Structure 1
Amino acid sequence: MPVINLKIIDIVPVRVNLWIMIFTSCWVVYMLRVNMSLNLIAMVPQPAKNISIRNQCSPDPKGVLNDSLRHVDIAEIKEAPRQIQGGSFNWSKDQQAMILGSYFWCYPITSLVGGMAAERWGPRYVILATSIMSALLTVVSPAAARLNYIALVIVRFFLGFAGGFMYPALHVLVARWAPPEEKGKFISALMGGTLGTVVTWSLTGPLLERYGWPSAFYVPAALTFIWCGFWWYLVADTPTEHPRISISERKYILDALGDKIKKSKGLPPFKSICTSFPFLAMVILHFGNLWGLYFIMTVGPKFVSSVLGFELTAAGVISALPYLARLFMATIFGAVGDCILAKKLMTTTVIRKFFCLFSHVLPGVLLVLLMYTGCSTALSVAMITMSMGFNGAATLTNLQNHQDLAPNFAGTLYGIANFIGSTSGFFTPMITAYFTRTGDSFDQWRPVFFVGASVYVVSAIFFILFGTGNIQDWNFSESGKNESKGKTKTDDANDMNEASKNGQIRDLKEMPTSITTRT
């Protein structure tokens, strides 16, 4: 049997491996989420396309067309459906919308409980189980589609059920592994879904054309199964449970975390959480962040398309720019925040409040300026890109503040905040439809952008006034408080040293046999 030497992987610090696995986990969950939007194009025959010759910024050199004829079709292009392997389906637009939307029917619910599940059973097992479940559901998707569109809706529903656990569980993992001075870098790894979206959309097209639409399900599922093997080998719930971590790295992490993290099987202190004003400030900040994200992702492209006459979502490179900008800036902001904290130039609370100017206020201002760019497509795209790019600073504000308030319940706090924040995805299209119900002029779109910018800015102001980066008393559950009664700081230090010693002994016993694996 061949022997696979894993020394190269084990030489890399465990925290680096963990960062890569967190980044790729977000990539995987987005890969399985967004591939359906392109797969449907190949699965359902596309109707003939109409070209509309006018929008607010379209030139009318002869001056013969009035505003009432802005959307009159002058040409119809008959395009024969492409013969793509795998067959096609005559699903209506409503049926297609149901297939796409079914993913999100249960997603907020499992996001709410995902953190609690990870805190109780460990993030490693929760993420592994839900990822395997997601891959299996993706494998059976082609068979479900051939059976009936309702079967595919059910598959997508359970796919969203599994996907909702991912991000809250990852926040639990970050809380247990990331030293305070490195949390910005670890939180930036949660932007992996951004790159996953761009790459998935780029690779799905060639798969559809060459191998047919079923391959666009099988290939992502196969990649997910392979990723699960790496996750199982490289990730552990805590530093003390990792079989290959070096003695010095384990000691560094444990010393940095101190006594803030304690594994608990009990329920989170919901009463204290719900009555905590700092937690409320964090939830409002997170709501504003998600409002801005959904706003830019949905309203921004629609505005550029319907008002400026430029189909942003159809231009692959341009549509990817805002997402890539957010990923790039998130990495930079995360590193800058860690550097500031390491050098003690600002307190944690000051960092959280100061960078709200970049994550919320500045993106809101850019949304307002977007309304005054006129018919300049390049300038409009630049405004959208910069707005989402500066929002990358959320790695230092709402995406990290729950780690400050209660690292023991970081997953629970993020799940609650994400559950509430996700409702913004329902409101932004409704508000857009209300103001633009009679047309797509700049005057009709201006209130839409003002509302979006206001939510961005007001949520930041509220957090700046009432938020904090200090750990809360209810971070330690009642059981944890009872266990710690009668213990001095010396006792806690001895407990930590004992855990470190146990890890050292295990290292000496297991290191020689854990370097190689027989298959």
Structure 2
Amino acid sequence: MAVLFIKFFDVIPVRFNLWIMLFTSCWIIYMLRVNMSLNLIAMVPRPPKNNTIQSQCEPTDDVTNATLRHVDITDVREAPRQVPGETFDWSADQQALILGSYFWSYPVTSLVGGMAAERWGPRYVVLISTAVSGILTALSPVAATINNIALVVVRFLLGLAGGFIYPALHVLVARWAPPAEKGKFVSAMMGGTLGTVVTWSLAGPLIEKFGWASAFYVPAAITFLWCFLWWYLVADAPNEHPRISDTERKYILDALGDKIQKSKGLPPFRSIITSVPFLAMVLIHYGNLWGLYFIMTVGPKFVSSVLGFELSAAGVISALPYLARMFFAAIFGVIGDCILARNLMTTTTIRKFFCLFSHILPGLLLVLLVYAGCSTALSVSLITMSMGFNGAATLTNLQNHQDLAPNYAGTLYGIANFVGSTAGFFTPMITAYFTKNGNSFEQWRPVFFIGASVYVVSALFFILFGNGNIQEWNFPKEITSESKDDKEKNGDLKDMKASAMKNGDVKDTKETSLNVSS
């Protein structure tokens, strides 16, 4: 059976297999990241309910919003439950420490993950990082029985391993995705969205039937199975894959041309950090993550404390924003590829135009949310559409680093993700500052205005200063000089210049000789 299963993948185009593995990689890493938030419900007894806190929009009767308010996780947690396994008397601060420890280390390895993948290859960086994450997840029940600090250490190490994944995946996309298909490949990065929803759905039944430890062991077992498939199906580059057809290999390599060159040297950090297009990319990525964290944390808190509806724990309703983002991302990815394939817009125009959907519209919807009043249905719709339109990020900030320097795509994404991760710290602080004296609409209004402003301002800056052209510092200097000498000797440099200019890969004639020489 296993042999037939493996042979099934061999008859599928390698690029499709790669898309599946990219999607499921994000699914796996999010599964191991978010399972703790639900597992803690079973691991720690529920404290007595506090009935003194009421929202501004308490329903006047049992019929109001009945279709949306019927499933609240707080009600489930307070119901009598018989969950197998030991429980722990951890305070709220100790639980927050456990949940937060993952994100202490995650930005650090996100910063270096791209460089590691560029140097040693994304295949093994992702494989080792994911396997280590699976082992740490399997050790979590043992760590919990020791004490909460042991579990904090495990989660901290899990964050260290997880930080390598996304930058390394972007390196893989740079080496495999033809320009006409890059939108579809980047949309695979939304696999983590579905991973969150499925994990929460899977963990509940497992905990009730087999105890909370099973909600660690089963994801770990799935991870190990996935690691075998990754090892078998994925290679660092098309010319290294043992089972790819000659036709498919030639198609990918011809489409990529001379944009990708392997180098063991360090990235040109001075050129990178002084590049205005790169800084514009970092800013729009920061705006994207600010909006994403904002909706994930502040949005549910708003409809909980102001509207009296716990969005983040209402079954299918809580999944709608995440599913909408994944669905819209796939649609926008296909649209972008079609536009590029038909030469309807340049790469730069595509990146800037779709900022309207990825950043500006989501920001405006956040402003409307605070004026929605006590309409729960309208509030849920606005949050869902705001995150849904943000799926267009697959055509803006989630692709732009690939445009600027495919040789260093992982490094650029790692730097941008490192900076953007700070949004996860600032959004709760700003919310706490403005709502410290209450949860009225007036007190929440500045919170949403700030969130919308970050969305919109970052998009406007990118529209003014962003770029979709490959930068000259993409090409390693040692490769550039060697290739230039060879091509001049062979008389091919002029032809390469013309080809690059025709394909729009360089910014002007003066830069062409340097760019195409690699």
TM-score by length of 1: 0.90
Moved more, 88-97 or 11-20: 88-97
Summarize the Cα distance change of 1:492–1:327 in structure 2 as closer, same or farther, 3 Å threshold: farther
Partner SS for 2:485: coil
2:232 aligns with 233
- State the alpha-carbon separation in 1 of the partners of residues 121 and 260 from structure 2: 13
Task: Kindly tell me the number of residue pairs found equivalent between the two proteins.
Answer: 480
Alpha-carbon contact 1:291-1:452 (below 8 Å) kept: yes
Q: How does 1:6-405 map to 2 (within 5 A)?
A: 6-52=6-52, 54-58=54-58, 79=78, 82-405=81-404
Alpha-carbon contact 2:55-2:304 (below 8 Å) kept: no
- Equivalent position amino acid for 2:28 in 1: V
- State the alpha-carbon separation in 1 of the partners of residues 85 and 178 from structure 2: 49
- State the alpha-carbon separation in 2 of the partners of residues 193 and 34 from structure 1: 10
- State the alpha-carbon separation in 1 of the partners of residues 33 and 403 from structure 2: 30
Summarize the Cα distance change of 1:27–1:249 in structure 2 as closer, same or farther, 3 Å threshold: same
- State the alpha-carbon separation in 1 of the partners of residues 472 and 255 from structure 2: 19
Q: 1:4 deviation in Å?
A: 4.8
Q: 1:313 deviation in Å?
A: 1.5
**Structure 1, residues 387-416: CA drift from partner, whole Å, max 9, x if none?**
000000000000000000000000000000
Partner SS for 1:50: coil
**Structure 1, residues 395-441: CA drift from partner, whole Å, max 9, x if none?**
00000000000000000000000000110111111111111111111
Summarize the Cα distance change of 1:154–1:486 in structure 2 as closer, same or farther, 3 Å threshold: same
Partner SS for 1:487: helix
Q: 1:77 deviation in Å?
A: 12
Q: 1:9 deviation in Å?
A: 1.1
- State the alpha-carbon separation in 2 of the partners of residues 337 and 210 from structure 1: 45
2:515 aligns with none
Partner SS for 2:51: strand
Partner SS for 1:259: coil
Summarize the Cα distance change of 1:15–1:6 in structure 2 as closer, same or farther, 3 Å threshold: same
- State the alpha-carbon separation in 1 of the partners of residues 375 and 229 from structure 2: 47
**Structure 1, residues 36-87: CA drift from partner, whole Å, max 9, x if none?**
00111101111122335742222569xxxxxxxxxxxxxx999576331121
- Equivalent position amino acid for 2:201 in 1: S
- State the alpha-carbon separation in 1 of the partners of residues 50 and 109 from structure 2: 41
- State the alpha-carbon separation in 1 of the partners of residues 124 and 2 from structure 2: 28
**Structure 1, residues 305-360: CA drift from partner, whole Å, max 9, x if none?**
11111111120111100000000000000000000000000000000000000000
**Structure 1, residues 130-149: CA drift from partner, whole Å, max 9, x if none?**
11101111111111111111
- State the alpha-carbon separation in 2 of the partners of residues 352 and 322 from structure 1: 23
Summarize the Cα distance change of 1:485–1:456 in structure 2 as closer, same or farther, 3 Å threshold: same
Q: 1:292 deviation in Å?
A: 0.4
Partner SS for 1:24: helix
RMSD: 1.9
2:435 aligns with 436
Summarize the Cα distance change of 1:483–1:99 in structure 2 as closer, same or farther, 3 Å threshold: same
2:70 aligns with none
**Structure 1, residues 237-258: CA drift from partner, whole Å, max 9, x if none?**
0000000000000000000000
Identical aligned residues as a percent: 76
- State the alpha-carbon separation in 2 of the partners of residues 463 and 77 from structure 1: 45
- State the alpha-carbon separation in 2 of the partners of residues 362 and 487 from structure 1: 50
- State the alpha-carbon separation in 2 of the partners of residues 117 and 177 from structure 1: 18
- State the alpha-carbon separation in 2 of the partners of residues 461 and 197 from structure 1: 31
- State the alpha-carbon separation in 1 of the partners of residues 221 and 264 from structure 2: 34
Q: Does 1:447 align with 2:451?
A: no
Summarize the Cα distance change of 1:92–1:491 in structure 2 as closer, same or farther, 3 Å threshold: farther
- State the alpha-carbon separation in 2 of the partners of residues 245 and 463 from structure 1: 38
Moved more, 407-416 or 87-96: 87-96
- State the alpha-carbon separation in 2 of the partners of residues 258 and 148 from structure 1: 54
Summarize the Cα distance change of 1:137–1:53 in structure 2 as closer, same or farther, 3 Å threshold: closer
Alpha-carbon contact 1:367-1:383 (below 8 Å) kept: yes
Q: Which residues of structure 2 form unaligned runs of 5+?
A: 62-74, 497-518
Partner SS for 2:428: helix
**Structure 1, residues 2-27: CA drift from partner, whole Å, max 9, x if none?**
95573321110000000000000000
Alpha-carbon contact 2:41-2:77 (below 8 Å) kept: no
2:421 aligns with 422
Alpha-carbon contact 1:259-1:492 (below 8 Å) kept: no
- Equivalent position amino acid for 2:220 in 1: A
Q: 1:485 deviation in Å?
A: 2.5
- State the alpha-carbon separation in 2 of the partners of residues 225 and 2 from structure 1: 15
Summarize the Cα distance change of 1:223–1:185 in structure 2 as closer, same or farther, 3 Å threshold: same
- State the alpha-carbon separation in 1 of the partners of residues 393 and 418 from structure 2: 17
- State the alpha-carbon separation in 2 of the partners of residues 363 and 346 from structure 1: 23
- State the alpha-carbon separation in 2 of the partners of residues 275 and 51 from structure 1: 55
Summarize the Cα distance change of 1:51–1:492 in structure 2 as closer, same or farther, 3 Å threshold: farther
Moved more, 111-120 or 95-104: 95-104
- State the alpha-carbon separation in 1 of the partners of residues 112 and 28 from structure 2: 21
2:506 aligns with none
**Structure 1, residues 224-246: CA drift from partner, whole Å, max 9, x if none?**
00000000000000000000000
- State the alpha-carbon separation in 2 of the partners of residues 267 and 367 from structure 1: 41
Alpha-carbon contact 1:48-1:78 (below 8 Å) kept: no
Summarize the Cα distance change of 1:3–1:271 in structure 2 as closer, same or farther, 3 Å threshold: closer
Partner SS for 1:413: helix
Partner SS for 2:368: helix
- State the alpha-carbon separation in 1 of the partners of residues 412 and 244 from structure 2: 29
- Equivalent position amino acid for 1:320 in 2: A
- State the alpha-carbon separation in 2 of the partners of residues 138 and 415 from structure 1: 24
